[in-house]
Amino acid sequence: MKRFFIALTLAAAFLCSTAMAQQPQQRPEQKDQPKQETMDQNRHDQAFRNCPHHVPGATECKHQQDQQGQHQCGHQQGQHQCNHQGGCSHQQGQHQCSHQDGDCQHKAFRPHGQAIVTLFEHIGATNTTDGWTQNGFQMERAYLGYKYMFDPHWTATIIFDAAEAATNGIEHVFVKNAYVQYKDHGLTATAGIIPTSHAWLSEKYWGLRYVGRSMFDLYGFGQVADLGFNVKYDFCHWLSADVSMLNGEGFRSIQLDNHYLYALGFDIRPFEHFDIRVYGDILTHDTNAVTLTRLNGPDTTVNNVARKNLHVFAGYDHRYFRIGAEYNMRFAHDFVKGNNATGLSVYAVGKITPKLNLFCRYDRGVSSDNDLLATAFRYANDGQNVFAGVDFHVNKMVAVSPAIQYHITPENATSLYAYLSCKVSL
C-alpha cells in the first residue's frame, strides 16, 4: 500500500512538470501590457473630458453648431471659429486649431489690404419765411482710401476727403487721414493725420453721420481729424484711457506753428451696455496779446489765454434701442477770455428691424456775445436743432434716410429742411 501511494505521487509530479514545460514563457514586455493599456485609456478619457464640445454625461463628443453653421473650438478668448472640415481659423487668419486636442498652432500671416470707399449724397429743400427753396442735389462727402495690414500688429491707412467748400461751393480734396497704427495687448498707438479721440464714442452711438454730423463737429467744438499722435491703453474690460498731442487746427490746416493741443480722455463701462466718456483738451497759443477792434469804442488790447474744451458723454445700447447724451464746453475761443460756448445733444435710435431704425435728436448751442468785432462769434448753428427720420439699410453697402431738420436761431427765426440722404460704403 505504501508503494502504491509513492507511485501515485511520482506520477502526479511527472504530469505537472510536463504541463509546465509545454506552457510558453511570458516575455518581459508582455508583463507590462495591462499597465500600458490602462495608461492609454486614462489618456483617452482625459482628452475626452477636455474636448471643448464635451457634454457631461455624454458617451461621445459632439460639436455644438451655431447659427452660422460654424463650430466653436473653445479658445480661451472665444475668438476662434472652426470650419466644417475640422480646421479652426482665427478671425484674422493667424491661428489654426485641431479638434483632436483643441490646441492652436500658428501659421504664416499674409499681409492684406482693403479699399475704403464711402459716399454721402443729399437731396432736399428748405422752408423759411420766404417759402420753400429747392436746394437740389448735394455731394456732401466722398471718402476714398486704402488700409493695409502689414502684420497682426501694424496697419497703415490713408483716406482722401472730397467735400464742398462753404465759401465758394467748389469741391476740394483733402488728406483726411494718413497714419500708421500699432495694436497689441490692450495698447493702441496711432501717429500721423489721425482721427481725433474727442468724441469718438458719441459718434459711434449716434451712428448716422450720413444724415447729420455729431454735435461737437457741427457746432465747432472740435476737429474730427488732426496731425499728431494718440496712445490708448485698455486697463481692463471697463476702463481705458487715451492721451493725444495734436496740431490743434484740424486736417484742413496742417501747418507749423507754436500751437499744440494736449488731450486726455477716459472711457468707462460701469455695467454692460452702458458707456461713459470724459474728455478734456487744452490748446496753447504763440502770442501773449492781441489788439481787437470793438463794435462800439476804441481798439482794445487783450491778453491771450489758452483755449480749453470739455466733453462728457453717456450712452446705453440696448437690443431694441440706443440712447446717448453729450455735453460740450469751450472756454476762450480764439484765445480770448470770456468767449465761451456750451452745447447739449441728446438722441435716441429705435431698432425696429435689423434693417430699419427710427431716430430723433435734439441739439442746443449757446455762445457768449460781446462787442469785440474781431472775435465776436456765434457758432453757425447757435440755437436749437431737431432731427427726426428713418434709417433704412437696403443691404450692407447702401443705406437711405428720409429726414427733417428743424432749426431755431437765437433770434427765434425758424427754418425747416426736408431731405433724403444716401450712404454708399464699399
Strand duo 261-271 + 398-408: pairing:
unpaired
In angstroms, rounded to a whole number, what is the distance separating the alpha carbons of residues 264 and 248? Answer: 14
Between 366 and 336, name the one with better pLDDT. 366
In angstroms, rounded to a whole number, what is the distance separating the alpha carbons of residues 80 and 388? Answer: 40
Look at residue 369 in the predicted model and tell me its pLDDT.
59
The model's pLDDT over 156-168, given as tens digits with 9 standing for 90+, comes to 999 999 877 655 5
Look at residue 13 in the predicted model and tell me its pLDDT.
53
Between 172 and 323, name the one with better pLDDT. 323
Residue type, 346: V
Rg value, the chain, Cα: 36
**Which residue, 155, 162, 145, 159, is CA-closest to 180?**
155
The model's pLDDT over 250-300, given as tens digits with 9 standing for 90+, comes to 887 776 667 789 999 999 999 999 999 999 999 987 666 666 666 666 666
Domains defined for the chain, CATH in brackets: 80-110 (no CATH), 140-381 (2.40.160.10)
Give the model's confidence band at 126: pLDDT under 50 very low, under 70 low, under 90 confident, else very high: confident
Indicate the SS3 state at residue 42.
helix
On whether the CB atoms of residues 70 and 81 are closer than 8 A, the answer is: yes
β-bridge mates for residue 159, sequence order:
145, 177
Q: Is the pTM of this model over 0.85?
A: no
- For the stretch 73-93, what's the b/e string if a residue is b when 16 or more beta carbons lie within 10 angstroms of its beta carbon? bbbeeeebbbeeeeebbbeee
Indicate the SS3 state at residue 47.
helix
Type and span of the H or E element at 8: helix 2-22
Among 134-138, 226-230, 386-390, name the one with the lowest average pLDDT: 134-138
Grid cell, residue 232, equals 490708448
In angstroms, rounded to a whole number, what is the distance separating the alpha carbons of residues 183 and 190? Answer: 9
Summarize the confidence of residues 364-372 as an average pLDDT. 72
Look at residue 198 in the predicted model and tell me its pLDDT.
92
